[in-house]
Amino acid sequence: MLVSLIAYCVLAGADFGGGVWDLLATGPRAERQRRLVDDAIAPVWEANHVWLILIVVLLFTGFPRAFAAASIGLHVPLTLMLLGIVLRGSAWAFRRYGGRARWGRIFAVASATTPIFLGSALGAITSGALRAGPDGAPELGFFRPWLAPFPLAVGAFALALFAYLAAVYLAVEAADPELRDDFRARAIVSAVVVGACALAAGLLTPPGARHFRDTLLRSPWSWPLQISTGAAAVGALWALFTRRFRTARALAVVQVALIVGGWGAAQRPYLIAPDLTLQDAAAPEPTLRLLLLALAIGSVVLFPSLWWLFRVFKRA
């Protein structure tokens, strides 16, 4: 599931970020910026959601107790996130083939809000506030766990991270030097915003996330991870300043993968802190064996298909 989440953030996250830059497109090149966003995401945006589908299937099949707790306690942000995904996809298609401006606004706004709901849900899972009462309903209600300062800070961090990825990717894909410079500047600014949001989320970490904080800061792997993440971030900025755009893209991918991977590692052994561990939430062993078998068979189809898709449409 963690690998799928990393893939979703690295690939689909940039699609959401493209919608952010569509929303913020300004100046005499605004329409050309929007056209570049459209052309960049057109071949792959639907395929990128396969990773979200895989996460959901793995969770409800392999860890049904965690799926039940999350889908009940986080019903509101998850529903809003799914609505945002549907709206942005539909609006993008209507705008691309129908050309009406209002569809573009819906696409952009849905793209900018959906990452906030995703990040807020992940923040609530980490915060320790998602606890169920005897009747299965969340003790703090359906809003307080994800509308607290820490989950909202994580939501803002996710939005900034996706916008940063998109700007870096678009700087690579832009054939026009002026557009490349536009997105280079946006990537540099958004990289600084990512750092500020990460700092804010760290300062707002609640007492309920003590295990997460201690594991992230005191585990034997934590400092090598943080140094590597920082090196990737600084390296990506250096590559942007020196106009080595493909290097910047590779380092940005590494940076985001390390951030999401570090979050997952710091969560262990919990799926939902502090009540549900991986072992507690796991399905019976025969189910897990069949799930692994299905993953192995599906991988034989999935990975070559995605490789061919990106080779055909993104090779240049």
Please determine, for residue 200, whether its predicted confidence score (pLDDT) is greater than 70: yes
Percent of the chain with pLDDT over 70: 97
Res 142: pLDDT: 87
pTM: 0.93
E-strand stretches of 160-300 = 270-272, 276-277
pLDDT at 16: 93
Inter-axis angle of helices 245-267 and 2-23, nearest 10: 130
Q: What is the pLDDT of residues 211-252, one digit of tens each?
A: 899 999 889 999 999 999 999 999 999 999 999 999 999 999
What is the CB neighbour count within 10 angstroms for residue 23? 18
> Tens digits of per-residue pLDDT, 267-293?
989 998 888 898 988 999 999 999 999
Confidence (pLDDT) at 178: 94
In whole angstroms, give the CA distance from residue 120 to residue 313.
33
pLDDT number for residue 99? 66
- pLDDT at residue 42 is higher than 90: no
Q: What is the pLDDT of residues 110-119, one digit of tens each?
A: 999 999 999 9
Q: What is the pLDDT of the chain when averaged over all its residues? A: 91
- C-beta of residue 78 within 8 angstroms of C-beta of residue 117: yes
The pLDDT of 27-48, averaged and rounded, is 87
Residue from 222, 279, 312, 224 nearest 63 by CA: 279
Q: Poorest-confidence range of 16-20, 95-99, 122-126, 280-284?
A: 95-99
Domains of the chain, earliest start first: 2-283 (1.20.1630.10)
